[in-house]
Every structure is written in structure tokens, then in C-alpha cells.
Amino acid sequence: MDAPAEIGFGQLLLGGIGFMLFSAGALVMFVVLYQKRLLQQQLLQRSAEATYQQQLVAAIVEAQERERERIGRDLHDGIGSSVAAAKMLISRILTNGGSGDSSNLLVLVDEVITSAAQEVRNVSHTLYPAVLSRFGLAAALQYLVDICNEMGTLAIEIEIDYPRPVPLAQELALYRICQELINNALKHAEGATRLRIELLHRGTLLTLSVADNGCGFSTDMLGGVGAQAANAGVGLRSIAVRVQMLQAKLHHHSVPGQGSRIAVELQVPELVQQAQAAG
């Protein structure tokens, strides 16, 4: 009478063991497949990061080459021309000897040399704004606006609320972004009569914005780095690179014919900590 019960128990035991082995095998297979997929995702992510880094380096090199080309052009067209003119005037003075024209020529030489000195200061300020390291971002932006207003190309106004300075490296990046945005507006904002720059600290955000009342442009021109920015100009790509390096956010609003506004929002740890302490 006990045999059927023993057989039933044995079958049940074997069935349980078989089910456990099947479950263990399925679990092992699931873990293997999951690990394989996870590894593939990690490889894809690393590949994407490597591609992004290559695009970032390429954009930086491109911006540097463009800057060198511009500086070389400024040296040749500005300072080179002034030095050549001064040399020609001095030659005329030497040729004329002590004639009455010499005094007038000396005045011209003085004017040309003064102009060349101003060109040197402008190029030096472009390479590295000394006022930034000495007096900070607010003073550097104000100085930049004053220089642009002296040119008379476009009326520029600026509003600054910048009570707590950020590190110099971040200030330099923000300054270069503003400089590039101004240059972009001067070159491409057709019909613009004014430009407004804002450097404002609101809450935990430091926002730098540049707005014009010109023709505007399609926001598709402002992409990311690399292929996404293929239609953007070099200047806009260099802005995108600096924004990425700052780990900031780039916002742009532009409608063709209605002007444009580009803003960079930076959440700086120093400002966050002080805001939390104040709260």
C-alpha cells in the first residue's frame, strides 16, 4: 500500500528538482542576457562620449584657428598699415630736411603712431582682457560695451546685477561668450539699431543674455557641437563649446524679422551654497 505513495512522492520530488533546475537555468540565462545588454549599452555610451570629445576638440581647434586668422588680419590691416604709413611719413621728413612741412608731417606721424598704439591695445584686449583679471567680469563687460559704443556701429546698453563673483575661469568663458555674441550681432543682425546685454543673478542662476532688435535668425542655426551644429557658424559653435565646458544651459529665442535673444544660464556652486545658507 505504501509503494504508490512513495512513487508519487518521488515523482513530485523529481518534478520539483527539475523545476528548480529549469528556474535556475532561466535565471542564469536572464542574468547573462542582461549583463550582455548592459555591456552593449556601456560600449555604446563610451563610443558616444568618445565621439563627442572628438567633436568638442575639433570645435575648439576650429575656433582657435579662426581666432588666429582674425588676429593676423587685424595685425596686418591695422598695425601693419599704420607702421607703413609712419615709415613713409618719416622718410618724407628726412627727405625734406628742415622745411616747413616737417612740423605738419610730425603731427601726422604722431597721429598714426597713436592709432597704432590703440590697435595694439585692442588686439591685446582681445587676446586676454586685463581688466577681467584685475577688476572682474562686470567691469570687463562694461569696458567691452564702452569700446563697441565708441565704434558707433550699434547702440549697446547693459544691465548688471552681479553681487558674488564666480571663479576667473568661468568669468573668462562668460566674457568670451558675450564677446562672440556681440560680434555675431554686429555682423549678422541686419536692421538692428540696438543691443541689450544683461548679467543677472536671480536665485541660484547666473544668466548672461544678449538681445538685438534686428532681423533674427532661425533657431536651427544654434545646434550642439559637431554634426548637430553643421548649419551653424563657427562663432555659434564656439559658443556651444564654451557652454558645454561650463556645464551651463543655452537658451535662444529668435523669429526671422523680429530680433533674437540668446541666454546662458549657469548654476554656480558658490551661489547655490550661499542661497541655501541664507534660506
Residue 233 in domain: yes
Return the H-helix or E-strand segment holding 159: strand 155-161
85-137 pLDDT, tens digit each: 777 878 877 777 666 677 777 788 888 888 777 777 767 666 677 788 889 99
Residue 6 in domain: no
Supply the pLDDT for residue 9: 65
- Domain extent, residue 205, equals 129-279
Number of domains in the chain: 1
| 201: its cell numbers | 543673478
Residue 179 in domain: yes
Supply the pLDDT for residue 158: 96
Residue 278 in domain: yes
Q: What is the pTM of this model?
A: 0.60
d(CA 145, CA 152): 11
Supply the pLDDT for residue 30: 86
What CATH number did the domain enclosing 138 receive? 3.30.565.10
Residue 151 in domain: yes
Residue 23 in domain: no
pLDDT tier at 224 (50, 70, 90 boundaries)? very low
Residue 17 in domain: no
Residue 256 in domain: yes
245-268 pLDDT, tens digit each: 888 999 988 877 778 899 999 987
Q: What are phi and psi of 232, to 5 degrees?
A: -85, 155
